[in-house]
Homo-oligomer: A and B are copies of this chain.
Amino acid sequence: MRTGIATVCLSGTLKEKMQACAIAGFDGIEIFEQDLVTSPLSPGDVRSMAADLGLGLDLYQPFRDFDGVAPDLLKANLRRAEAKFNLMSRLGMDTILVCSNVATATIDDDAVRAEQLAQLAGLAGDHGIKVAYEALAWGKHVNDYEHAYRLVEMVDHPNLGTCLDSFHILSRDWDTAPIEKLDPEKIFFVQVADAPKLTMDVLSWSRHYRVFPGEGQFELAKFMGHVVRAGYSGPVSLEVFNDVFRQSDVDRTAVDAMRSLIWLEEQSAKWLAGSAEAAEGGSAASRRRYPMELATLPKVSEPAGFNFAEVKADDTARLEKLLGQLGFGFEGRHRTKDVQLWTMGQARVIINEQAASHAEPSIAALGFDVDSPVIASARAQQLKAPVVARKVQADEEVFQGISAPDSTEIFLCQGSPDGTAAWTREFGEGLEHRTPSGGPGAAAVIDHVNLAQPWQHFDEAVLFYTSALALEPQPFAEVPSPSGLVRSQVMTTSDAAVRLVLNLAPVQQARSEVRKTYQEHIAFAVKDLVATARAARDRGLEFLQIPANYYEDLDARFDLDPGFLATLQELNLLYDRDADGEFLHFYTATVGSVFFEMVERRGGYDGYGAPNAPVRHAVQYDSLHRT
């Protein structure tokens, strides 16, 4: 698949954009006209810079409001087009995007449109230019890709074809199956964009909220599958108008963009194989060849669970105290590194003392159990995840590490059927293992981890965990806090053995450094939360103090048994209930930017106590501002 991206997706100058696209590994780019018009680079400069960077200049765009106009305007439009064709020849470009008219069309007649497009195609032919005509979702008269294609067929000129843009097609819910019947010779270009499903006018949706494939909710693999089956083999190019991407670091956004296409390529191949198999049976179908070759990635399967979580700090005393009070046992120090292992049942927490001085405690790394760390790491690296180097001595387990968009280190670990981890033998040689062998924590596991995300990298994080770790984004929630709404995006495996919560903090907090002002946590699940809480209280744990008003409201909502309600209040436990089950949980005080949560899931409860999140935020805010 030939990969491309429109310069309008990115921040910066044309030069910065082109360099970022080359570094990210794109085959070609679309030149967004305004980027050229505002650039000090001459067309010749752009041409030679693209050649030096190994970037194809695949599409000049957009040319607007051409068709269905009165004769005077047609003349001016043809003049305007010729000026652009001349410019394109200096750029060494051969394809221009012409959008269906949204503003100046006064004649709604296919014959007139076809006749005018024929004139344009003729002129383009004289200049060796190909015109890709596209139906905008909000086109005044032409807003359906099949309509645009019919016009292309009516004109039947070698220099006129169509451009298919997933946003314009999927935002209008047009059926994508008929794409397969289009003549591939007449599909001059394919643009892809994803988007969250929003109920708003399609122009605003398009101009502000598009995201890269895998970051939204469109069925892009299916769209691409139909495109491939049509026989198209040209560029597949991102055109994503997004308010945040336009403000973010250009190099980083370009990599995020490239990742989305690599992932889409794999998903499209999968859709094709699955769909062929369903239709024709057997594996022969999946070996069918199409003009567009779709590269594959190292396979991924969902992680089986969390292997460990790592917290770092220069002063680890408060962390050690908290974990001890929660019921974790100290398993010893690593034989060569300044790290400690603490465990409770199958929940393993590493305390990393190697942090720079004056570093407040924060979540540094997560380990996931995967089938094959090497294959998973190879996949992540092909998806452009930065590799994390970790020093190892001979005889120590080598961790495959990659860096997530928020800089959390993700380690891909060899899972074991019994939930143990071989690397733990590197800890605490000769030390007495103090893990309580029974007690309420015996069956503890990491239930979920909640990571604060910088506002610029939220969509990137969703795609990262989707593509590299096969986690599935769940519908997001918005939680009120005293500092604003917190957007909370849960990513899980299908069996919910791994639950990761990405929290997008309000911008006010993100203005300084997210990690400092916004708190993250690790939650552990136990079988008996009340017993765990009592034991922790007896060990002197500092619980997050839940206001009395909360319990009064809880009782109004749930009509709880008075004894049970008293127990909840006595132990600062929070409670939620839905049709599937019940949820009990409590939070510790915060050290640095980290706190811990203990949870008990009863029945089929699958949530996170979302109705209680505002209470947590308010109490944390209050203690932060009191101190």
Check B200 against A618 for contact (C-beta < 8 Å): no
- Say yes or no: A43-B508 contact (C-beta < 8 A), given A12-B482, A485-B243: no
Residues of B within 8 A of A625 (CB): 13
Residues in B neighbouring A506, C-beta threshold 8 A: 243, 246-247
* Interface contact A483-B11, CB-CB below 8 Å: yes
Interface size on A, residues (CB 8 A): 63
Task: Give complex CA distance A41, B16 in Å.
Answer: 54
CB of A613 to closest CB in B, whole Å: 10
Indicate whether A38 reaches chain B with its CB closer than 8 angstroms: yes
A336 contacts which chain B residues (CB < 8 A)? none
Is B246 within 8 A of A38, CB to CB? no
Closest chain B residue to A17, Cβ basis: B482
A549 partner, pick from B36, B204, B511, beta carbons under 8 A: B36
Contact with B along A441-468 (1 / 0, CB 8 A): 0000000000000011000000000000
Interface segment, A79-87, A314-322, A412-420? A79-87
Question: Is A354 interfacial (CB-CB < 8 Å)?
Answer: no
The segment from A105-113, A158-166, A299-307, A555-563 that touches chain B is A555-563
Determine if A622 is an interface residue (Cβ-Cβ < 8 Å).
Answer: yes
B549 touches A39 (CB 8 A): yes
Q: Is A578 an interface residue (CB 8 A)?
A: no
Which residue of the partner chain, among B33, B201, B207, contacts A553 with CB atoms under 8 Å? Answer: B33
Map CB proximity to B onto A503-531 as digits: 1 under 8 Å, 0 otherwise. 00011100100000000000000000000
Smallest CB gap from A207: residue in B: B478
Chain B residues closer than 8 Å to A247, beta-carbon distance: 483-484, 506-508
Interface string of A39-50 (1 = CB under 8 A from B): 111110000000
- Of B13, B80, B83, B248, the residue contacting A618 (CB under 8 A) is B13
Instruction: Tell me the nearest residue of chain B to A621, going by C-beta.
Output: B13
The yes or no answer to A480 lying at the interface (CB within 8 A) is yes
Chain B residue contacts of A484, Cβ below 8 A: 11, 243, 246-247
User: For the complex, is A593 an interface residue (Cβ under 8 Å from B)?
Assistant: no
CB of A285 within 8 Å of the partner chain: no
Q: Which residues in chain A, 568-627, are within 8 Å of chain B measured between CB atoms? A: 614-615, 617-619, 621-622, 625
Encoded as 1 (CB less than 8 Å from any B CB) or 0, chain A from 229 to 248 comes to 00000000000000100111
- Cβ of A545 < 8 Å from any Cβ of B? yes
Q: Is A34 an interface residue (CB 8 A)?
A: yes
Query: Contacts A11-B482, A11-B484, A246-B480: A38 and B550 contacting too (C-beta < 8 A)?
Result: yes
Q: Which residues of B contact A556 (CB under 8 A)?
A: 79-80, 83-84, 87
Q: Is the CB of B40 within 8 A of A79?
A: no
Is chain A's binding surface mostly helix, strand, loop or mixed? Answer: helix
CB-CB under 8 A from A243, the residues of chain B are: 484-485, 506
Q: How near does chain B come to A31, taking the closest CB pair, in angstroms?
A: 11
Q: Quick check: is A76 within 8 A (CB to CB) of the other chain? A: yes
Assess the B37–A547 pair: CB atoms within 8 A: yes
Tell me, in angstroms, the Cα distance from A480 to B12 when the chains sit together.
Answer: 11
Residues of B within 8 A of A33 (CB): 553
Q: Given the complex, which residues of B lie within 8 Å of A79, measured CB to CB?
A: 556, 559
Residue A198 at the chain B interface, CB threshold 8 Å: yes
Task: State A508–B457 Cα separation when bound (angstroms).
Answer: 12
Give the chain B neighbours of A508 by CB distance below 8 A.
Answer: 11, 247-248, 456
12 more A-B contacts (CB under 8 A) besides A13-B625, A37-B553, A246-B480? A8-B480, A33-B553, A34-B480, A37-B549, A38-B549, A40-B547, A79-B559, A199-B200, A199-B201, A243-B506, A247-B483, A455-B507
30 A-B pairs with CB atoms under 8 Å apart are A11-B482, A11-B484, A37-B553, A38-B550, A38-B614, A38-B618, A38-B619, A39-B618, A40-B545, A40-B619, A40-B622, A41-B547, A41-B549, A43-B549, A79-B559, A80-B557, A87-B556, A198-B200, A198-B201, A199-B200, A243-B484, A243-B485, A243-B506, A246-B484, A246-B485, A246-B506, A247-B483, A247-B506, A247-B507, A507-B507
